[in-house]
Amino acid sequence: AQKITQTQPGMFVQEKEAVTLDCTYDTSDPSYGLFWYKQPSSGEMIFLIYQGSYDQQNATEGRYSLNFQKARKSANLVISASQLGDSAMYFCAMRDQPTLNSGGSNYKLTFGKGTLLTVNP
Amino acid sequence: EAQVTQNPRYLITVTGKKLTVTCSQNMNHEYMSWYRQDPGLGLRQIYYSMNVEVTDKGDVPEGYKVSRKEKRNFPLILESPSPNQTSLYFCASSLFATTKNIQYFGAGTRLSVL
């Protein structure tokens, strides 16, 4: 079963407007973390924002905020006042309970397929 | 500046020629991991390491080796690269913590195996 679902392959937004990128997740673990990463065309993977499953408040980092709805298992990224430099692929990821193997605890991230955001001038 | 450094950024090689992709972090992180990113398949974990001399397989370890002799370094070794290992590779690191263990990624290594 897919653990992270990003239903929007592509999104367009006008410069200076806000945009919401959707992410739903599936886990039975009570303790998990949700992440958003940005991947520009140059390829690097840039951390944007984190939400823990026990966090009472929605996470915010500058122009980024995470709309965390635990009961609905959704963790949508909101980008306010879009800029041309925001054009990139955006990935939602989840780290649920670390698996304990012979090599210790594995904090593997499971990624969604991504949403390509294009900001138009 | 806190960062994860991968080298090289770009590499073109031929089948069978051993290569190493280096990864170094300056954040004193215990946990390090390698992922590969392929179109249609997303990011998949290759290997991970909890600390010095402690490593284990991820989801797609075949054809790869790793070592963790020092806390800051976690090289990825392809003993005999094949064309199906052409991919974008990422190294990531984080603190060993059960909450807010944010994984920071390197800039990526684009590998082409001819």
Continuous segment of H or E residues that includes residue A42: none
Could you read off the pLDDT of B12-42 as tens digits, one per residue? 999 999 999 999 999 999 999 999 999 988 8
Mutation site, A105, A113, A115, interface B, largest B CB count within 10 A: A105
Residue A107 pLDDT > 90: no
Quote the strand ranges of B26-96, DSSP E. Answer: 31-38, 42-51, 54-57, 65-66, 76-78, 87-94
**Contact between A108 and B58 using a beta-carbon 8 Å cutoff:** yes
Contacts of A33 in chain B (CB under 8 A): 99-101
pLDDT of residue B98: 61
**Contact between A33 and B99 using a beta-carbon 8 Å cutoff:** yes
Could you read off the pLDDT of A34-93 as tens digits, one per residue? 999 999 999 999 999 999 999 999 999 999 999 999 999 999 999 999 999 999 999 999
Could you read off the pLDDT of B32-68 as tens digits, one per residue? 999 999 998 889 999 999 889 999 999 999 999 999 9
**Contact between B56 and A104 using a beta-carbon 8 Å cutoff:** yes
In sequence order, what are the beta bridge partners of A90?
A: A38, A115
